[in-house]
Structure 1
Amino acid sequence: MSATPTRKFTLLPMLGHTKGKRSAVTCALKCDNACAGDVCNTSSNSYFRDIASATMSRRAALGLGAAGALAVALGSAVTSPETANAAGLSKAAKEGFGKSKLKFTAIPSVDAAVDAVTVPDGFTWQPVIRWGDPIFKDAPAFDLNNQTAAAQEKQFGYNNDYTDIIEVPGSKGNRAVLFSNHEYTNENIMFPASMPAEQVRAVGAAAHGLSVVELERKNKNKPWSYVQGADLNRRYLNSTVYELTGPVAGSALVKTVADPSGRAIKGTLGNCAGGTTPWGTILSGEENFNGYFAAPGTSAADKRYGLTSKATARQWELDDPRFDTRNAGYANESNRFGWIVEVDPFDPTSTPKKHSSLGRFKHEGANVIVAKSGHVVAYSGDDERFDYLYKFVSKDKYREGDRKHNMTLLSAGNLYVAKFTGNSPAAEITGTGAVPSDGSFDGIGEWLPLVVDGKSAVAGMSVEEVLVYTRLAADKVGPTKMDRCEDVEPSLHTGKVYVACTNNSNRGTGTNEAATEVNPRNQNRDGHIVEITETGDQTSTTFTWNLLMVCGDPAQGDVTYFSGFPADKVSPISCPDNLAFDSVGNLWISTDGAPSGIGRADGLFKVTLDGAERGKVEQFLAVPQDAETCGPIVHDEERSVFVSVQHPGEDGTFEAPRSYFPDYVAAGSTPAAGQVRAPRPAVIQVFRG
């Protein structure tokens, strides 16, 4: 373990191959250059699209009831599960979409080189919390030039992604807890080149994980600020122990020399999107965990999950043997990641959980809705080219006000994977994104069982094997290959489910599957949104579907589709990533890749879902140079929006930063000569001001 200073991450195989403003550095650090490697899914699953005809929330402000329940103030629907599911529509939806109090004039697209947060006229923004902000009483102030692991463990982590704000019961709206996960780190811009390698690795590791911090404000018309040293503040680190629940707990497939019980897992990695449950806990998806492990790389499972024998970008395997699964006793360590994590933000002493019943893959997140039957249903996308969409249905039922019981619901249930069938002739799916002759992309679908009633539905695989090697199990039952299912959000207003398919530049290239009706564009640069309607309630095994939009910029000649809304009257949008709803059911989309690949900044967009303006896209904000928009929360009734700004200035270095977000000296100015500053990922609030 040499103390030689190091400059990390100089190998960038995606350099010159990314689309739009996507950085090759982001590809290296976030997803281990997934698009530069072989496609993980080499199964022969096909998409059935040529048939004559077809017979055809997300984290929401859920009313949590009486004793022990939590009042939730979130950026989505404000109805209770019961209201939302009665007759399929909430009161707000019945009264019509688009009546939000958050009125704004859409901003024009912003050049990707602009190092600023751009918001509509009449709005302003400020940080709520930034990387390095101290969250405990004894935490030191952030010192960019003298970082230590001990300090970082007591400070807000790096690259915040999923974010939510939950009101503290009895606080009259003046106190809340903020949850954020920390997806990955960019040591190039975090640390000077002279910092010893061991220190780089240690501080970088401490900047991963999760954070919970208390917020306060004077009243609902004032912005939030975080409270250092508050009782509920907590950091979840690589040393934090998570309880593994469900059928895999105690399995030989997850035991290691450090945990012979197979039930106690240290840390969480690659966390991306998430969800908030009806009982007020937070879910977070372990996504690109493969990039943290050196592995044999030869088994079918290693290949299917993108595990290789090359040195990892961060080289934690030099300090901790568990990150090299070739080491004796640690062959199963990578099997302990790729799960949905659940944490209780109101109990800083609680043990967080990893739920094996929801399967192991690159979870973007998980989002829960209570079905009419009372069962809890969680939707989750596998964020990889040509991978699948999943649904979990709980064994037991939700009990209003019984939080202790409800916190067990994700430990047992049925797991399904989606198969889509289109209703247009194959010849009409041209790969350009052109709409078929019936005027829409649509069809029927089926949820194919993987685990049902505690038994495996996959021939030749046990329940434990299905849940640990979920990708391999799904390959056997023939689901539909998708274009990177990222966030999957059920609307509490209508019960419909929205799937953000971010992009897939490999579709239709070489031997890869070509365009299908549910993924209608070859070399899909811009992505699309799928809208699912379950046949019965959310526990149904059949559904109908249509595409809400096929993204892009019509002004640049892109073939697009916005549910019939005039394409020349929408804000150009590309690479949909995270989704949210406002209080009257409009969909909000944050992007990761920028509009149509022509060098525009990522942003947050509102989409009307109903009525004459269905499909209308309006851009609300844009984020700074190199940054991605994550974790949107829309408090439209308070005329306020929150986003996590991730990886600003990604292509810079510590010595030569490309962004000064969020600590700008003044509009258009830069630091004084000799003053070293770095961009700091942050959660920001946008409000009337």
Structure 2
Amino acid sequence: MRYKRKINKKWLAPILGFTLAFPSVLSAQAAVPPAHASVKSVEFVGMAAPTGAEQMAKVYTGASVKVTYSDNTVKTFPLTYKTLYKSTDSIGGTVAGVSIDAKGKPIMDTSVPNNPVPAVSDSPDSNSLFQVPGMTPTDLGGNPLSLVTHYEYITSNNAGKSAYGLVPASMSLTTLDQNKQTGELKPVTLKKVDFSGVDGLWIPCNGSLSPWNTHLGSEEYDADARAYEADHKQTYVDPFVQTYYQDTTKKGNPYAYNYIVEVSVDSKNNSTVQKHYSLGRFSHELAKVAPDSKTVYFGDDGGNTMLFMYVADQAKDLSAGTLYAAKWVQTSAANGGSANLQWIKLGHASDNEVKAFVDKGLKFSDLFETSDKAADGFKTIKTYPSGKVEYLKVKPGMEKAAAFLESRRYAAMLGATSEFNKMEGVTVNAKDKKAYIAMSYVEKSMEKDKKGTDPTDDIQVDKISAGVTYELALTDGQKDQSGDSINSAYVPQTMQGLVWGEDLATPDAKGNTAADDKVANPDNLSYSETLRTLFIGEDSGKHANNYLWAYNVDTHQLSRILSTPAGAEATGLQVVDDLNGFSYIMSNLQHPGDEMIVPEPLKTDVLNSINQNFDNRKAGMVGYIAGLPSAKQLEKEAPAVPVKGGNNHQSSTDSSLIVIKDEAKKAGAAISWKGPKKPIVVTKGSHKLVFTLGSKTATMDGAKVQLPATPGQVKGKIMFPSGTWNHFIGM
């Protein structure tokens, strides 16, 4: 039966037992564009490991993305690596990696007599690419984007001696032009971020983009305040502040550093910095915020480190909150091990409260009493940065100061596990409520204490020097060890190995001491919700070349997608799923040619090429992988689904209406409906049709379809366009 007339508004009883008032016109003559296939699977087709000196001395990708649609059509998207700039390049008059003092002037390297030169980093690290609303377009005519980049340290000075930690680090803010047609990124201007308001920036490692569009930077490798108080020369604190303030008489304060720093950018491309003291002081690899915009996870780099979590009082505001540390309760030792996690509350504080402790000039001895042996009232602990067994007691009234200035020592005294080793990157899979954490080297404090000399031995997993990436399940309704509720729906409850490397008994021909077809020493992590893919960047001394990997969390397929020069670390990893219709994998490299494990004579050939490519090993590189398809591009490339006929062989543009319950019964399809104004779902085999009464937009296997007529009800029966129905049944 065909219906070409208008239906009056009234309450009708639909066939599935619900009532719905329906105002609509059921006839339409507009032509319908053909339905398109939906994405069935996304797969990264990996590249081979580099061979020969030329490949081993450069950064490149030979990988691609293979997309299979629901009609089994396959489309391939080749990937390419694009360089934005080297750290030694000048962008708009500013050298990208130059270190600056408190007045914004370049810090000079005077290591070679009579030849002072600006100190320039070879070690770009974290990237945050984002768009600030209202920013003025660039002269190139594209979309203006912002990029915050870390410069972690300077490997060596002009005289070839180590400069690690001695020269204050920096960040840059680059304005990029995004071509509106191709998505290509080009740097337009670059300026250094001013950290003079927070006493400079201490060794910034990785970072992340917050859900509210700010950059969360880091300060890793906390100076030992106990050692500094005993002998200032045991840490980098004084040389750091003297260089930053250009004052050789200035004394530093270790408690002024090793926090999370938040960089905000306004529409005029000006940056402001806020240091978040309430997130705790430890070796911050990075901070990653959960989808609730208030739960924060951290990497804690070094030996004998900890798993921390912070829950802010207010979403999108990290200025006050509660800090927790985890206790590992092991359930397995294999493949990196697995455990249940118990959370210990360290305390609640605001940034202002903790900063007041710093400004007061508190020292280690103001917080703790010490003993040189086990004694009543003293807790026995072993943590980074000391790495030694210590016997400590918190002085009365100093609990909050200890919790936020000496987070690791205080947490260990309360029973948290301080046996993690080289805990690096963190990222979140929002849909599955999973977090991922990289443990670069699973060894030493994470192995069973066979000598029985450590204060605790919570972690006793099998050694994997090539490292492990862990998966953490995030849950609601969790309580801390004291029985108090944790105000977060994203609390890690379990932790288990997900991707692990393989150690080799003897080096291979390129010097690899870990299997070259598996991840070695994972560091940077980033996750794509669109592609269901975890990306893993290496910081390995066990691979001749460090790689970037793509790991599909559904199929568990691991694919190598980028190779960096020998001796370089893959850094700056950030997956940008969809920015004005384009997706990117931000990926940098630092210190090319450093600490190479390649045997001779290949080593000499590789180094010669690296010197040519990277300014005699003085330059790192900032860049990205292009060609990654965005959700918009996947939809655009989807093939049209041909009409196979169906009942009465009507056209898919036929606007006549059929009683869908009757036709579904004939075709063996199932119909479900959960109530008024809810979608109606029709399923036949693996195919699904979803529509809503009163709407001319439906989805067919996930692809949007415009209907030739509006679904409605007549005398309690749901009516649907016959042409679209025939198309669906014929799939």
User: Do both proteins adopt the same fold according to a TM-score greater than 0.5, normalized to the shorter chain?
Assistant: yes
3-state SS in 1 of match to 2:208: strand
Q: What is the aligned counterpart of 2:342 among 440, 446, 450?
A: 446
Shift of 1:647: 1.1
Paired with 1:156 and 1:225, the residues of 2 have a C-alpha distance of 22
| Residues 147 and 176, structure 2, Cα contact 8 Å, conserved in 1 | yes
TM superposition shift of 1:335: 0.8
CA contact (8 A) 1:385 1:484 kept: yes
RMSD between aligned alpha carbons? 4.5
Deviations 1:393-442 (Å, cap 9, x if unpaired)? Answer: 1112x3xxxxxxx4xx1110111011121235xxxx3xxx469xxxxx54
Residues in 2 aligned to 1:368 and 1:512: alpha-carbon distance in whole angstroms:
37
Please say if 1:225 is aligned against 2:186.
Answer: yes
1:531: how far off?
Answer: 1.4
Aligned residue among 553, 562, 578 for 1:609: 553
Per-residue displacement from partner, 1:208-250 (whole Å, max 9, x unpaired)? 211110001323524211003xxxx43135xx323xxxxxxxx
1:368 equivalent in structure 2: 289
Shift of 1:495: 2.1
1:365 alignment partner AA: L
Which protein has the bigger strand share?
A: 2
Q: Does 1:496 align with 2:473?
A: no
Evaluate the alpha carbon distance shift between residue 453 and residue 317 of structure 1 in structure 2; reply closer, same or farther with a 3 A threshold: closer
Q: How does 1:669-680 map to 2 (within 5 A)?
A: 677-680=616-619
Residue aligning to 2:313: 395
Relative to structure 1, the CA distance from residue 661 to residue 226 in structure 2 (aligned partners, 3 Å threshold; closer, same or farther) is farther
Deviation at 1:619, TM superposition (A): 1.1
* Counterpart mapping for 1:226-241 below 5 A: 226-228=187-189, 233-236=190-193, 240-241=195-196
1:297 aligns with 227
Cα deviations across residues 612-651 of structure 1 (Å, max 9, x unaligned)? x23x221111100210001212346646422010111224
1:273 paired with 2:206, answer yes
SS state of the match for residue 294, structure 2?
strand
Q: 1:475 aligns with which of 374, 397, 412?
A: 412
Amino acid at match of 2:275: K
Structure-2 separation of matches of 1:644 and 1:365: 16
Residue 627 (str. 1) matches residue 581 (str. 2):
no
Contact 1:414 1:451 (C-alpha < 8 Å) held by counterparts: yes
Match of 1:385 among 274, 281, 303: 303
Alpha-carbon separation, structure 1, partners of 2:166 and 2:304: 31
Contact persistence 1:156–1:211 (CA under 8 A): no
Distance 1:141 1:112, change over 3 A: same
Conserved? CA contact 1:395–1:413, under 8 Å:
yes
Partner of 2:462: 521
Q: Which structure exhibits the higher relative contact order, with contacts defined as CA atoms closer than 8 Å and separated by 6 or more residues?
A: 1
Corresponding position of 1:344:
264
Query: Does structure 2 retain, via aligned residues, the 8 Å contact 1:418–1:448?
Result: yes
- Contact 2:60/2:81 (8 A) holds in 1: no
Distance across 1 between alignment mates of 2:524 and 2:164? 30
Give the Cα–Cα distance (whole angstroms) in 2 for the partners of residues 96 and 497 of structure 1.
Answer: 28
1:642 aligns with 2:586: yes
Change (3 A) 1:394 1:546: closer
Task: Assess if the C-alpha contact under 8 Å between 1:98 and 1:586 holds in 2.
Answer: no
**557, 561, 578: which one aligns with 2:524:** 578
Secondary structure, counterpart of 1:649 in structure 2: coil
TM-aligned CA deviation for residue 535 of structure 1: 2.7
Once the 2 structures are TM-superposed, how far is the Cα of residue 465 of structure 1 from its aligned partner? 2.6
- The counterpart of 2:500, out of the listed 538, 551, 556, is 551
CA distance in 2, matches of 1:602, 1:156: 23
Distance change in 2, residues 1:272/1:112 (3 Å): farther
Following TM superposition, by how much is the alpha carbon of 1:105 offset from its aligned partner in structure 2, in angstroms?
2.1
Distance 1:348 1:557 in 2: 52
Q: Distance in 1 between matches of 2:236 and 2:606?
A: 24
**Partners of 2:39 and 2:303 in 1: how far apart?**
33
Distance, in Å, in 1 between the alignment partners of 2:312 and 2:96 is 44
Picking from 508, 521, 531, the partner of 2:471 is 531
What amino acid is aligned across from residue 411 of structure 2 in structure 1?
A
The answer as to whether partners of 1:135 and 1:156 remain within 8 angstroms in 2 is no
Is it true that 1:309 corresponds to 2:236 in the alignment? Answer: no
How far is 1:579 from its partner?
A: 0.6
Report the Cα offset of residue 151 of structure 1: 9.1
| Code of the aligned partner of 1:418 | A
Q: CA deviation at 1:320?
A: 6.4
Structure 1 gap segments, 5+ residues each: 1-94, 243-264, 399-405, 436-440, 559-567, 666-675
SS in 2 for 1:273: coil
- Superposed CA deviations along residues 332-364 of structure 1, whole A, max 9, x for unmatched, are x11100000001133654541111110001100
Moved more, 656-665 or 464-473: 656-665
Indicate the SS of the match to 2:289.
strand
Following the alignment from structure 1 to structure 2, what is the Cα–Cα distance between the partners of residues 387 and 128?
35
Which residue type is aligned with residue 573 of structure 1?
Answer: V
Residue 45 of structure 2 aligns with which residue? 105
Letter in 1 for 2:414: V
In the alignment, the residues of structure 1 paired with residue 96 and residue 209 of structure 2 have an alpha-carbon distance, to the nearest angstrom, of 31
Does residue 625 of structure 2 align to residue 683 of structure 1? no
Residue 123 of structure 2 contacts residue 591 of structure 2 at CA under 8 Å; is this kept in 1? yes
For 1:363 and 1:487, the matched residues in 2 are separated by 10
Aligned residues: 486
Going from structure 1 to structure 2, the CA distance change for 1:378 and 1:316 (only over 3 Å counts) comes to closer
Alignment CA distance shift 1:679-1:554 (3 Å): same
1:526 CA drift (Å): 1.4
Query: Which residue identity lines up with residue 604 of structure 1 in the other structure?
Result: L
Q: How does 1:42-81 map to 2 (within 5 A)?
A: none
**1:36 match:** none
Q: Is 2:428–2:434's contact at 8 Å kept on the other side of the alignment?
A: yes
Q: 2: CA distance between counterparts of 1:450 and 1:184?
A: 31
Aligned-pair distance for 1:314? 11
Structure 1 residues 478 and 640 mapped into 2: Cα distance closer, same or farther (>3 Å)? same
Aligned-pair distance for 1:155?
A: 10
Q: Please tell me whether the aligned partners of residues 628 and 646 of structure 1 are also in contact (alpha carbons under 8 angstroms).
A: yes
1:465 is the counterpart of 2:385:
no
Change (3 A) 1:586 1:479: same
Letter in 1 for 2:345: P
> CA separation in 1, counterparts of 2:408 and 2:609?
41
Query: 1:174 Cα deviation (Å)?
Result: 2.7
Counterpart residue type for residue 155 of structure 2: N
**Amino acid corresponding to residue 547 of structure 1 in structure 2:** Q
Quickly say closer, same or farther: Cα 1:140–1:164, change in 2 above 3 A. Answer: closer
Describe the SS at the equivalent of 2:565.
Answer: coil
Q: Say if 1:362 and 1:216 are closer, same or farther in 2 by CA, change over 3 A.
A: same
SS of the aligned residue for 2:571 comes to strand
Counterpart of 1:601 in structure 2: which amino acid?
A: N
Cα deviation digits, residues 159-197 of structure 1 (max 9, x gap): 111112112436697321111011110224xx256xxx9
**Would the alpha carbon gap of residues 125 and 314 (structure 1) be closer, same or farther in structure 2, given more than 3 Å must change?**
farther
* Equivalent position SS for 2:90: coil
Distance 2:532 2:408 in 1: 33
- Please list the CA deviations of residues 627-681 of structure 1 after superposition, one character each: whole Å capped at 9, or x if unmatched: 00012123466464220101112249xx99936559739xxxxxxxxxx744411
Is the Cα–Cα contact under 8 Å of residues 603 and 621 in structure 1 kept in the other structure? yes
Distance 2:165 2:122 in 1: 10
Mapped contact 1:417–1:449 kept (Cα < 8 A)? yes
| Residues 1:543 and 1:625: Cα distance change in structure 2 (over 3 Å) | closer
Aligned counterparts of 2:328 and 2:97: Cα–Cα separation in 1: 50
Structure 1's 140 and 681: CA in aligned 2 closer, same or farther, altered over 3 A? Answer: closer
Residue 224 of structure 1 aligns to which amino acid in structure 2? L
Residues 529 and 98 (structure 1 numbering): CA distance in 2 closer, same or farther, change over 3 Å? farther
Q: Please give the alpha-carbon distance, in whole angstroms, between the structure 1 residues aligned to 2:431 and 2:328.
A: 24
Distance 1:287 1:202 in 2: 13
